[in-house]
Chain A
Amino acid sequence: DQQVKQNSPSLSVQEGRISILNCDYTNSMFDYFLWYKKYPAEGPTFLISISSIKDKNEDGRFTVFLNKSAKHLSLHIVPSQPGDSAVYFCAAGLTGGGNKLTFGTGTQLKVEL
C-alpha cells in the first residue's frame, strides 16, 4: 500500500520556466511533509518542509503548497535552473511516531537549456 505517491516519474522543463512537482498521500494522519532532492551517487538532501497547519511555505525559489482536503502537495521551482536537475522525493511524517518518514517513488526533473 503506497501511502505517498508521485505519479510522474519524470518531468522536463526549460531553464527559466516553472517546475511543478506533484505528490499525493492517502493517510490523513500525516502532519508534516517534506521534499528532498537527490543527485546520482549521493544521499537525498532536505529541501523544504511544511506543517499540516499551513497551506504554503516558501524558501527562495522553492515553494511548497499543501491541499489537505485533496491530500495533495506540490513543489514549485521558479525559475528553474540546470542545477535543479535531480530526483525529487516527497515524504510525509507523523509527529511522535519516531519521526519516521514515508517516501514517494520520486520524480526525475530535467531542466534543459
Chain B
Amino acid sequence: NAGVTQTPKFRILKIGQSMTLQCTQDMNHNYMYWYRQDPGMGLKLIYYSVGAGITDKGEVPNGYNVSRSTTEDFPLRLELAAPSQTSVYFCASDPGSNYGYTFGSGTRLTVV
C-alpha cells in the first residue's frame, strides 16, 4: 500500500520558471491538502480539496494553483516561481474523519 506519493523529492527552479508538484494517493480518500513548511515554522495550508472537482484556498494560496480531476491526484502548480516559494511542500490525504492525515514524504523546492 503506497499511501501518499509525491514527486519529485527535490527540485531547483530559476526565478520565473513554473512547475507542477505531483501528489497521488491510493487510499480512496476524499480530502486532500497541500501544506508548505518553512524553516522554524509550522505547516501552512496552501490549498485543499474535499472531493474530485472541488478545491478551495487555504492560508497561503498566492502564487499557486491546484486541480482535482480524480480522487487519486491533486497536483500543485507554481507559476512564475519566486524565492519566497523556497520551502518543503507536503501533500496529505484524509478519509474525512478526525483520525489524522496521511502525509507524503515531501518535495524540497529551491528557487534561485
Contacts and interface: CB of A to CB of B under 8 A. Distances in A.
Interface of A: 2, 4, 6, 9, 32, 34, 36, 41-46, 49, 51, 89, 93, 95, 98-106
Given A95-B98, A98-B56, 4 more contacts: A44-B90, A46-B102, A102-B42, A105-B41
A100 B48 contact: yes
B33 interface: yes
Contacts of A100: 33, 45, 48, 58
A43 B106 contact: yes
Interface string B24-67: 00000001010100001111110010100000101000000000
Given A41-B105, A46-B101, A98 B90 contact: no
Contacts of B102: 46
Contact of A89 (B43, B44, B96): B43
Task: Report the interface size class on chain B.
Answer: 20 to 34
Nearest to B92: A43
B104 A43 contact: yes
B15 to A, nearest CB: 26
B42 A99 contact: no
A81 to B, nearest CB: 21
B43 A103 contact: yes
Q: What 4 pairs across the A-B complex have the smallest Cβ distances?
A: A46-B100, A43-B103, A103-B42, A103-B43
